[in-house]
């Protein structure tokens, strides 16, 4: 039994997450009382809260060692810090984009910010989880906030549909995850990752029980839903298309980071010894995601569906690092995820600045026709992001792919590497297609789209472009941080 | 100025990039002024780069096969990558070619490019950075970055300023080259994992097992053969050439095609000698097919650019033929042929551009009899046409004859078949010249065209002079490439005659 002082010490150690939880609740209360401009004010508060959380998170990093809190429920290590930074960047960008996208809109309710804060809290718990129960708690906190966010535009049929679809499929996946957890609990008698790892290590000497493997499969299925890996990706295009644009941007960034972090915890902290068993599953979903992401994206006319398939493909590449496993593989995945995050943030910042006269963001590809004439800056920025996503050097996206494929070849999986790069060539077609529409096509006569990047969108877009372009000069720091994070994982 | 420690190559490589940034921020009251300023700044920057490259050429020590002007800076510690640049006899003239053609293209865009001139100049300057970088990079990954980076500006050049089917051409160009390149990237990463570095001189010493060499060679071949382009993966070239604006065609024919040949010399021959020996017969036949087949296709074209594009594929056939004979004459001839083709085909595309700007058609039948109103143009065009045919006294002759000498040392049949390309080349080029310049003047508009203006003379006359000069004085080039080629071949023959490799091959 924990005594009072332990709890207080643990609460202090977890002060970043505690602070975020309090801030979300306080902002909710404040928001209700505000009469005017609630969205903007709460957005400022939300960003401040996230930045403060980020500072507190980074402070924890100084110790260097990993610590476990609340009876091994949560673990704070460099891996967690790394992923939390990524999630916070995603959340802050999403709030910035939301101010532009929803702020002046009828549906611009300040709850958007609160929900993002709560989702971020859930993700931070996911990232820190060291136990199946804290994993599930974090995951559900995140998911419930995301379901509401998807349906945030309640006047729109597609948004409601997106929310409902996401909720039903998300609930299904949570069910599978819970089933997997209960199987694991049944066969190992514990829900704690380190204890599971010990039991796996002992059992491995003769034979791992089949029930545990089945449980692991169910857990992986549940997590694959969250990162929208094929074949559990069905909800992604619909939700991306239906949800408000800034929410889609959030979906494309933060939850993916959190779910990938969670996957790393489960796969490496708990089941690291079973690498040869789960690697087959990761192999299959990774290859399928790369292929489907590449081929299904080719025929899309809606920009958000295209980006959905693009993100499916990117998750396939990121998973390759987990498939290879070990320290190089995880490092490669972390580098890839960081670059993916920045590219996605930049892409959405550019896209959201193209709006029609009702102040709704453009959704169809052909609405970008002739963008390079209307606004060269936005067009070139978006083109840089897209070339980077296609993995063309000298942009950052190339280094992400370089790292992943280096890890894959290091593991000796030559065929997989060849298939992976071929998929990336196929995928480059749809990125080029959008560039073609922006640069080669003429704007249609009756198009009323204006390019109006707000200051906040610039705050997201300009750093992203700078990062993607100048990454080639200073690649080391990110790799160093990712290496440290990967080292602390086990 | 002390050139010992001055990073000349990096300076040359990145100066155009700085220029591009500068051009990007040019603002002006009206479009005309912006356009003029952009062109002037671009031309100034690229002429400075050209002057620097001349300095490099005169500082170049022609007695050694080592890399010169070497720079080594730690770039990517986590991956053990170094930023390393250097030039040897194989690369030095390709750098010259890049720095020579870019200013000409920038100057000539004043009259041939109508819209978005500022961005056009930017694209050309960025392209120059990547081109020089490709030829100077001494690190595999660095090479790949430059090699692949070329796609970005070229895609925009073709797509934004190209002809009616520009979208198709741009996509085809991009996707063909990308697919080839990513396979090379895989091979490069494999070598990286084996050697722990991608430093090119280290990789040359590395040596790989027989089977690994085979796969690596195939992967690199996928990239370089597409870039070259070799038959049967050449189909992107005619499309890209026809649709690209004049400047794009000039750079494409003048420099980009040479990247494939350069890659073979820099990677394939020194790093996978046994695979080169194994695959050489196949490449000879591909080259012969390219020479004869694409020459025949060129014969029936009615579009000038397309004809020159197909003739480029045929001329590149001599290059691959020469390189893989692995004889001194063959390899030197191949390099010479690439330099010569870089000058001649670039000039031919400029010539097409000159009349295209006036009549806005590339159809051969729309021209005729223009010798009367454009005598200077006819003279310049003739020099380049004869150079392309390979007339003795022009640079084309030296390259082709040396490659063929190499080929005859290996196999008489191959040599004979390849030599037939000379006849075919003469057939279509002379026909083209007769149809366009002589012949009956059917089209009144064509007869009203004005002769080459000052700017065009400024671009074409130096090129003509160079074609003639290195045609009669080939030693200026050959002296500088000879030590590197000899070193390359000495290492090659040493590698394929090593007893351990021999045993490994017998035991496979």
pLDDT tens for each residue of B396-441: 899 888 999 888 888 888 889 888 888 888 888 888 888 888 877 7
Return the pLDDT at B1: 44
The residue whose two tokens read 């159809």 is B363
> Is the omega angle on the peptide bond into residue A74 within 30 degrees of 0, that is, cis?
no
Q: For B358-372, what is each residue's pLDDT tens digit?
A: 888 888 888 878 888
Q: How far is A25 from chain B (nearest CA, A)?
A: 43
Please name the member of A429, A435, A483 whose beta carbon is closest to the beta carbon of B78: A483
Band (pLDDT 50/70/90 cuts) for residue B357 is: confident
- Least confident piece of the model among A346-355, B24-33, B338-347: B24-33
Q: Collect all residues of chain B within an 8 Å Cβ-Cβ radius of residue A476.
A: 76-78
Q: What is the pTM of this model?
A: 0.91
Contact pairs from chain A to chain B, CB under 8 Å: 83
Q: How far is A370 from chain B (nearest CA, A)?
A: 11
B382-391 mean pLDDT: 89
User: In this predicted model, which residue has the larger pLDDT, B162 or A170?
Assistant: A170
Taking an 8 Å cut-off on Cβ atoms, the answer to whether B171 and A429 are in contact is yes
Q: Collect all residues of chain A within an 8 Å Cβ-Cβ radius of residue B152.
A: 387, 392
Taking an 8 Å cut-off on Cβ atoms, the answer to whether B183 and A417 are in contact is no
Taking an 8 Å cut-off on Cβ atoms, the answer to whether A428 and B175 are in contact is yes
Q: What is the largest CA-CA distance in chain B?
A: 75
Q: Would residue B3 count as lying in a domain?
A: no
- Structural contact between residues B216 and B190, judged by C-beta atoms closer than 8 angstroms: yes
Band (pLDDT 50/70/90 cuts) for residue B507 is: very low
Our count of domains for chain B comes to 1
Return the pLDDT at A62: 59
Taking an 8 Å cut-off on Cβ atoms, the answer to whether A479 and B160 are in contact is no
B184-219 in b/e form (b: 16+ CB < 10 A) is bbbbbbbbbebbebbbbbebbeebbeeebbbbbbeb
Q: Collect all residues of chain A within an 8 Å Cβ-Cβ radius of residue B160.
A: 372, 439-440
Please tell me the distance from the alpha carbon of residue B256 to that of residue A175, in angstroms, as a whole number.
Answer: 56
Mutate to test the interface with B, among A379, A432, A487 (most CBs of B within 10 A): A432
Q: Which of A379-388, B17-26, B353-362 has maximum average pLDDT? A: A379-388
Residue A460 has pLDDT above 60, yes or no: yes
Please tell me the distance from the alpha carbon of residue A201 to that of residue A209, in angstroms, as a whole number.
Answer: 12
Q: For B224-266, what is each residue's pLDDT tens digit?
A: 998 888 888 888 888 888 888 888 888 988 899 899 999 999 8
Q: How far is A166 from chain B (nearest CA, A)?
A: 36
Q: For B27-68, what is each residue's pLDDT tens digit?
A: 777 777 888 888 888 889 989 999 988 888 888 888 888 888
Identify the closest residue of chain A to B78 by CA–CA distance.
Answer: A476
Residue A195 has pLDDT above 70, yes or no: yes
**Residue B477: exposed, middle, or buried by beta-carbon count in 10 A (0-12, 13-18, 19+)?**
buried
Please name the member of A372, A421, A475 whose beta carbon is closest to the beta carbon of B185: A421
The pair of three-digit structure tokens given for residue B159, joined into one six-digit string: 């797509």
Query: Helix (H, G, I), strand (E, B), or coil: what is residue A208?
Result: coil
- Structural contact between residues A203 and A195, judged by C-beta atoms closer than 8 angstroms: no
Q: How far is B186 from chain A (nearest CA, A)?
A: 7
A70-87 mean pLDDT: 89
Question: Percent of chain A scored above 90 by pLDDT?
Answer: 45
Q: Collect all residues of chain B within an 8 Å Cβ-Cβ radius of residue A480.
A: 78
Nearest to B415 by CA among B299, B295, B231, B285: B285
Please name the member of B149, B156, B183 whose beta carbon is closest to the beta carbon of A393: B149
Return the pLDDT at B58: 87
Nearest to B463 by CA among B395, B397, B402: B395
Inter-helix orientation angle B89-112/B31-59, to 10°? 160
Q: For B164-197, what is each residue's pLDDT tens digit?
A: 888 898 898 899 889 888 999 999 998 888 888 8
Nearest to B153 by CA among B255, B83, B230, B228: B255
Question: Percent of chain A scored above 70 by pLDDT?
Answer: 97
Q: Would residue B2 count as lying in a domain?
A: no
B286-305 mean pLDDT: 89
Return the pLDDT at B503: 47
Query: Which residues does residue B105 pair with via DSSP β-bridges, in sequence order?
Result: none
Query: Which residues does residue A383 pair with via DSSP β-bridges, in sequence order?
Result: none
Mutate to test the interface with A, among B38, B145, B162, B218 (most CBs of A within 10 A): B145
Element of type H or E holding A318: helix A303-324
Return the pLDDT at B371: 82
Residue B508 has pLDDT above 50, yes or no: no
Please name the member of B78, B141, B159 whose beta carbon is closest to the beta carbon of A440: B159
CA distances from B161 to A481, B109, B148, B169 (A): 43, 11, 21, 12
ipTM value for the complex: 0.89
Residue B23 has pLDDT above 90, yes or no: no
Band (pLDDT 50/70/90 cuts) for residue A1 is: low
Please tell me the distance from the alpha carbon of residue B47 to that of residue B226, in angstroms, as a whole number.
Answer: 31
Taking an 8 Å cut-off on Cβ atoms, the answer to whether B175 and A429 are in contact is yes
Return the pLDDT at A142: 93
Q: Tell me the average pLDDT of chain B.
A: 86
Residue B284 has pLDDT above 50, yes or no: yes
Please tell me the distance from the alpha carbon of residue A456 to that of residue A450, in angstroms, as a whole number.
Answer: 17
- Structural contact between residues A103 and A42, judged by C-beta atoms closer than 8 angstroms: no
- Chain A residues bordering chain B (beta-carbon distance below 8 Å): 372, 376, 387, 392-394, 398, 402, 405-406, 409-410, 414, 417-418, 421-422, 424-425, 428-429, 432, 435-436, 439-440, 472, 475-476, 479-480, 483
Element of type H or E holding B73: strand B68-76
Band (pLDDT 50/70/90 cuts) for residue A305 is: very high
Taking an 8 Å cut-off on Cβ atoms, the answer to whether A406 and B189 are in contact is yes
Please name the member of A402, A406, A432 whose beta carbon is closest to the beta carbon of B193: A406
Mutate to test the interface with A, among B114, B178, B214 (most CBs of A within 10 A): B178
Q: What is the largest CA-CA distance in chain A?
A: 72
Please tell me the distance from the alpha carbon of residue B180 to that of residue B415, in angstroms, as a whole number.
Answer: 29
Q: Would residue B1 count as lying in a domain?
A: no
Q: For A112-150, what is each residue's pLDDT tens digit?
A: 899 999 999 999 999 999 999 999 999 999 999 999 999
B320-338 mean pLDDT: 90
Q: Would residue B232 count as lying in a domain?
A: yes
Return the pLDDT at A63: 61
B109-123 mean pLDDT: 82
Residue B4 has pLDDT above 70, yes or no: no
Beta strands in A22-147 (DSSP E): 67-69, 74-76
A442-471 mean pLDDT: 82
The residue whose two tokens read 């084996």 is B194
A157-163 mean pLDDT: 89
Q: Within 13 Å of residue B98, how many CA atoms lie on the same side as its CB?
A: 30
Residue A324 has pLDDT above 60, yes or no: yes
Q: Collect all residues of chain A within an 8 Å Cβ-Cβ radius of residue B149.
A: 392-394
- Least confident piece of the model among A155-164, A226-235, A356-365, B498-507: B498-507
Range of the structural domain that residue B42 is part of:
8-505
Please name the member of B76, B148, B174 whose beta carbon is closest to the beta carbon of A475: B76
Please tell me the distance from the alpha carbon of residue B175 to that of residue A421, in angstroms, as a whole number.
Answer: 12
A321-360 in b/e form (b: 16+ CB < 10 A) is bbbbbbebbbbbbbbbbbbbbbbbbbbbbbbbbbbeeeee
Q: Would residue B174 count as lying in a domain?
A: yes
CA distances from B83 to A328, B14, B150, B196 (A): 23, 13, 18, 15
The pair of three-digit structure tokens given for residue A239, joined into one six-digit string: 């939700």
Please tell me the distance from the alpha carbon of residue A453 to that of residue A458, in angstroms, as a whole number.
Answer: 7
- Structural contact between residues A236 and A312, judged by C-beta atoms closer than 8 angstroms: yes
Return the pLDDT at A335: 93
Please tell me the distance from the alpha carbon of residue B89 to that of residue B320, in angstroms, as a whole number.
Answer: 18
Q: Collect all residues of chain A within an 8 Å Cβ-Cβ radius of residue B189.
A: 402, 405-406, 409, 417
Please name the member of B148, B159, B186 whose beta carbon is closest to the beta carbon of A439: B159
């Amino acid at each position: 039994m924990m005594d009072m002082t332990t709890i207080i010490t643990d609460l202090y150690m977890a002060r970043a997450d505690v602070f975020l939880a309090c801030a979300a609740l306080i902002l909710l209360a404040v928001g209700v009382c505000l009469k005017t401009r609630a969205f903007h004010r709460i957005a400022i508060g939300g960003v401040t809260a996230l930045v403060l959380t980020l500072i507190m998170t980074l402070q924890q990093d100084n110790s260097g060692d990993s610590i476990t809190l609340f009876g091994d429920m949560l673990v704070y290590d460099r891996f967690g810090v790394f992923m939390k930074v990524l999630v916070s960047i995603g959340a802050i960008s999403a709030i910035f984009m939301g101010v532009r996208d929803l702020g002046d809109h009828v549906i611009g309710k300040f709850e958007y910010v609160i929900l993002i804060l709560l989702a971020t809290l859930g993700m931070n718990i996911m990232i820190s989880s060291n136990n199946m129960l804290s994993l599930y708690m974090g995951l559900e906190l995140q998911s419930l906030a995301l379901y509401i966010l998807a349906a945030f535009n309640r006047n729109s049929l597609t948004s409601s549909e997106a929310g409902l679809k996401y909720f039903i499929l998300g609930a299904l996946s949570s069910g599978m995850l819970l089933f997997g957890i209960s199987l694991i609990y049944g066969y190992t008698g514990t829900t704690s990752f380190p204890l599971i790892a010990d039991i796996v290590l002992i059992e491995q000497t003769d034979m791992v029980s089949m029930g545990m493997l089945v449980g692991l499969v169910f857990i992986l299925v549940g997590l694959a839903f969250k990162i929208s890996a094929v074949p559990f990706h069905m909800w992604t295009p619909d939700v991306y298309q239906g949800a408000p644009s800034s929410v889609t941007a959030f979906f494309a960034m933060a939850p993916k980071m959190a779910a990938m972090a969670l996957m790393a915890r489960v796969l490496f902290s708990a089941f690291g010894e079973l690498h040869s068993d789960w690697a087959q599953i990761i192999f299959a979903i990774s290859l399928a995601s790369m292929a489907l992401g590449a081929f299904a994206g080719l025929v899309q006319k809606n920009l958000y569906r295209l980006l959905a398939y693009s993100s499916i493909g990117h998750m396939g590449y990121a998973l390759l690092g987990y498939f290879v496993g070990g320290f190089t593989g995880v490092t490669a995945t972390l580098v890839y995820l960081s670059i993916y995050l920045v590219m996605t943030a930049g892409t959405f910042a550019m896209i959201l600045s193209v709006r029609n006269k009702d102040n709704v963001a453009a959704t169809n590809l052909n609405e970008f026709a002739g963008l390079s004439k209307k606004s060269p800056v936005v067009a070139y920025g978006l083109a840089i992001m897209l070339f980077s996503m296609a993995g063309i050097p000298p942009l950052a996206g190339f280094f992400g792919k370089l790292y992943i494929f280096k890890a894959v070849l290091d593991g000796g999986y030559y065929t997989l590497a060849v298939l992976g790069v071929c998929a990336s060539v196929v995928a480059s077609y749809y990125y080029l297609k959008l560039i073609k529409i922006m640069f080669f096509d003429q704007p249609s006569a009756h198009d009323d789209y204006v390019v109006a990047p707000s200051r906040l969108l610039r705050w997201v877009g300009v750093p992203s472009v700078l990062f993607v372009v100048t990454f080639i000069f200073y690649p080391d720091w990110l790799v160093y941080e990712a290496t440290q994070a990967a080292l602390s994982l086990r | 100025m002390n050139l010992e420690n001055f990073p000349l190559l990096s300076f040359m490589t990145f100066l155009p990039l700085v220029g591009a940034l500068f051009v990007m921020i040019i603002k002006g009251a009206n479009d005309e002024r912006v356009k003029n300023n952009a062109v002037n700044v671009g031309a100034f920057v690229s002429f400075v780069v050209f002057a620097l490259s001349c300095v490099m050429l005169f500082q170049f020590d022609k007695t050694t096969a080592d890399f010169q002007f070497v720079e080594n800076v730690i770039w990517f510690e986590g991956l053990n990558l170094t930023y390393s640049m250097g030039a040897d006899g194989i690369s030095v003239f390709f750098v010259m070619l890049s720095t020579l053609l870019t200013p000409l293209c920038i100057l000539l865009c004043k009259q041939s490019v109508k819209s978005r001139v500022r961005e056009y100049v930017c694209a050309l300057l960025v392209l120059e950075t990547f081109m020089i970088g490709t030829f100077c990079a001494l690190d595999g990954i660095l090479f790949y970055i430059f090699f692949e980076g070329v796609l970005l500006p070229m895609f925009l050049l073709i797509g934004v300023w190209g002809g009616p089917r520009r979208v198709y051409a741009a996509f085809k160009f991009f996707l063909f080259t990308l697919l080839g390149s990513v396979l090379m990237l895989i091979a490069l990463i494999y070598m990286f994992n084996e050697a722990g570095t991608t430093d090119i001189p280290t990789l040359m010493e590395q040596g790989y097992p027989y089977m690994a060499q085979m796969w690596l060679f195939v992967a690199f071949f996928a990239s370089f053969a597409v870039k070259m382009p070799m038959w049967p993966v050449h189909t992107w070239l005619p499309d890209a050439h026809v649709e690209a604006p004049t400047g794009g065609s000039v750079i494409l024919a003048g420099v980009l095609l040479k990247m494939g040949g350069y890659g073979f010399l820099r990677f394939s021959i020194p790093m996978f000698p046994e695979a080169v020996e194994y695959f050489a017969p196949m490449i000879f036949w591909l080259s012969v097919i390219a020479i004869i087949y694409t020459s025949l296709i060129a014969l029936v074209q009615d579009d000038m650019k397309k004809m020159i594009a197909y003739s480029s594929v045929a001329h590149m056939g001599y290059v691959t033929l020469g390189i893989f004979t692995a004889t001194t004459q063959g390899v030197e001839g191949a390099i010479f042929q690439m330099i010569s083709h870089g000058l001649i085909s670039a000039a031919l595309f400029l010539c097409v551009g000159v009349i295209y700007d006036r009549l806005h058609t590339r159809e051969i039948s729309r021209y005729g009899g223009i010798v009367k109103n454009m005598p200077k143009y006819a003279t310049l065009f003739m020099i380049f046409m004869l150079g392309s045919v390979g007339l003795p006294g022009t640079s084309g002759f030296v390259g082709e004859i040396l490659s063929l000498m190499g080929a005859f040392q290996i196999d008489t049949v191959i040599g004979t078949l390849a030599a037939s390309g000379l006849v075919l080349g003469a057939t279509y080029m002379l026909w083209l010249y007769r149809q366009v310049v002589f012949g009956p003047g059917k089209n009144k508009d064509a007869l009203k065209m004005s002769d080459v203006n000052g700017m065009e003379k400024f671009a074409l006359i130096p090129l003509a002079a160079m074609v003639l000069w290195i045609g009669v004085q080939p030693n200026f080039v050959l002296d500088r490439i000879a030590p590197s080629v000899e070193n390359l071949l000495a290492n090659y023959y040493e590698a394929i005659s090593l007893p351990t490799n021999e045993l490994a091959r017998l035991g496979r």
